[in-house]
Amino acid sequence: MGADLPDIDLHRSIAARLAEHGQHYTANRRAVVDALARAGAPITLPDLLAVDESLAQSSAYRSLSVLIDVGVVRRLVHVGDHALFELAEHLTEHHHHLICESCGTVVDVTLPDRVEAAMDRTFDEVATALGFAPLHHAVDIYGTCATCTP
Amino acid sequence: MGADLPDIDLHRSIAARLAEHGQHYTANRRAVVDALARAGAPITLPDLLAVDESLAQSSAYRSLSVLIDVGVVRRLVHVGDHALFELAEHLTEHHHHLICESCGTVVDVTLPDRVEAAMDRTFDEVATALGFAPLHHAVDIYGTCATCTP
DNA sequence: GTTGGCATGAGAGTGATTCTCACTCTAGCA
DNA sequence: TGCTAGAGTGAGAATCACTCTCATGCCAAC
Ligand SMILES: [Mn+2]
Ligand SMILES: [Mn+2]
Ligand SMILES: [Zn+2]
Ligand SMILES: [Zn+2]
């Protein structure tokens, strides 16, 4: 989404978070992050490898796994047979997804703060009523994208 | 969820929908529907086979696939390595999911109509602004369930 | 009662993801 | 600056949820 951190801060922030977990920000992990940042939308692993041809498949999967573990990357499922990967929200901003049921395209959307706040209040109420302690939420809006609409 | 159709109507409704698509409501498909109805929450395929031991894995998967194609069953991903299956909303009611990040339990929740309406309005606005024609939405509330909270 | 076509299920196949292991790099110390 | 222990890498093997195949079963319509 629009409000990304400048690259320098992005990488510094990621390095710090990895360090907190006793992990290093290696060249491979940085290459994966760069590819995700360059994509600017959730992408599949094949797409990731296409963005940076020097990446090896097994290492890309492993770097993503480490980055997910420390909270730098988020993995999305729900569409197609490949998972989608994107930078975590603390590196971009809280957002949700528009999913085209025809072509599988996924794009980020942000909702007005007013609406987010109202949703959080409601979710907290209904979850608590069922003995759940809610931590966060995901909203997926399914429909048809511009290019798939005739 | 609470407001299920009585069994007779449930099966009649499903038979009709299958017929619309030139499909039959066979014993196997009915057994799968019964198992899902009995579960009352999204369940995995292994769980389904456990509920009805007479079901064969390959046939259960195929029956689910047919039932999904005609809109009687919905498939959820997002949690664990097995997909979750539940009866479609027109057989139960529009609802969303509470997902325990600790044990993977998934339970249904309904939101107040007022909130659903407000969300739909907002989703329509933001989607349209991005050239998307929104059709429906899914909300997942992640947190910790009662038994996982110490 | 025969026949044609869909349904079933055991087992084989598929493919995204994960694991293995021999090799490489690097951080930290001498 | 050299050494070394431990972490990182990647080609290929393995895993496993799910799908496909095909021989057989079932049923409806004549
Ligand atoms: Mn939100
Ligand atoms: Mn809703
Ligand atoms: Zn599309
Ligand atoms: Zn739990």
Q: Indicate yes or no: strand D within 7 A of the C-beta of B92.
A: no
* Residue in B82, B20, B29 with CA at minimum distance from that of residue B55: B29
Residues of chain B contacting residue A132, judged by C-beta atoms under 8 Å apart: 98, 100, 107, 141, 143-146
Q: How far is the CA of B36 from the centre of ligand 4 (A)?
A: 21
pLDDT at B8: 80
CB A27 within 7 Å, strand D = yes
Query: What is the three-class DSSP state of B26?
Result: coil
Residues of A in contact with B100 (CB under 8 A): 132
One CATH from 1.10.520.10, 3.40.47.10, 3.30.1490.190, 2.40.50.100 for A94-150? 3.30.1490.190
Distance CA(A31)–CA(A63), nearest Å, equals 9
- Listed as ranges, residues in chain B with pLDDT below 70 are 1-5
C-beta atoms of B141 and A118 within 8 A:
no
User: Which H helix or E strand runs over A136?
Assistant: strand A133-144
The pLDDT of residue B150: 76
> Which pLDDT score is estimated for A22?
92
| Predicted local confidence at residue B3, as pLDDT | 52
* CB-facing half-sphere around the CA of A110: CA atoms within 13 A: 10
Kind of pairing between the strands at B106-109 and B96-100: antiparallel
Gyration radius (Cα) of chain A, Å: 17
Q: Which amino acid is at B132?
A: F
Instruction: Give the pLDDT means over successive 10-residue stretches in chain A (150 positions).
Output: 68 94 95 95 97 97 97 93 96 96 94 96 98 97 93
CATH architecture of the domain B1-92 equals Orthogonal Bundle (1.10)
Helix (H) or strand (E) holding B36: helix B27-39
**Residues B120 and A86: beta-carbon distance below 8 Å:** no
**B135 vs A144: CB contact, 8 Å cut-off?**
yes
Evaluate if the CB of B95 falls below 7 Å from strand C.
no
Alpha-carbon distance A54 to A71, whole Å? 24
Domain boundaries, chain A: 1-92, 94-150
- CA of B95 from ligand 2 middle (Å) equals 6
Helix axes B113-129, A113-129, angle to 10 degrees: 140
Strand B96-100 vs strand B133-144: parallel, antiparallel, or unpaired? parallel
Closest residue in A to B127 (Cα) is: A98
d(CA A136, CA B99): 10
Q: Is the CB of B61 under 7 A from strand D?
A: yes
Global pTM? 0.92
- What is the Cα–Cα distance from B43 to B120, expressed in whole angstroms? 28
Strand C nucleotides where any atom sits below 7 Å of a protein CB: 6-12, 15-20, 26-27
What number of helices (H) and strands (E) belong to chain B? 5, 5
Strand order in the sheet with B133-144: A106-109, A96-100, A133-144, B133-144, B96-100, B106-109
Query: Which of A139, A144, A147 to mutate to probe the B interface, most B CBs <10 Å?
Result: A139
Q: If you measure CA to CA, which chain A residue comes closest to B112?
A: A122
